[in-house]
Amino acid sequence: MPLKKKRSLTTDIRYKIKMYAVGLAKAVGNEMLAMEYADTLTRARIRGVRPFEIDRDQLENVLEALRVPRGLWGIYYAFVNFYESKIKYLGLWEEEQAIDHFAKLGANPDYLREIINEVFLKGKRSAQPGEPTVEQKPSKS
């Protein structure tokens, strides 16, 4: 899971303030370098975390509709994170491989397919601000 708690309106600014303090120490008092350091790290954090948050919110709606007990949601959160990173972003796994893998761990394969349809295919969401687009994603080397 990408985050333990929900983000609030002040999450990004609090992170930026914290990184400014770290940058100020690293830059030995150079405020301009510290601000650039904080800006860069904050943008990178937003770009990396936001897709997972959107998927997690959509997943919760699907799990509630399927009446999956909350005590079992963890494996489905893990599946969505895995799908977002290993299948969608990096392209290292095929969908069926991932479904088989998570089914061995105890997830219901029908639920996994429903999650793929509802979270990743049906929504086919456009890139959010700061999220990499297809052209920006790293090429497989």
Q: What does the longest C-alpha to C-alpha distance in the chain come to?
A: 56
For 65-123, write each residue's pLDDT tens digit.
Answer: 999 999 999 999 999 989 988 888 788 999 999 999 999 999 999 999 999 999 888 75
Tell me which of 136 and 11 has the higher pLDDT. Answer: 11
b/e map 68-78, b = 16+ CB within 10 Å: beeeeeebbbe
For 17-65, write each residue's pLDDT tens digit.
Answer: 888 888 888 888 889 988 888 888 888 777 766 667 777 888 999 999 9
- From the list 73, 76, 67, 55, the residue with the least C-alpha distance to 119 is 55
Instruction: Give the integer Cα–Cα distance in Å for 83 and 89.
Output: 8
Nearby residues of 87 by Cβ (< 8 Å), 6 or more positions away: 93, 94, 95, 98
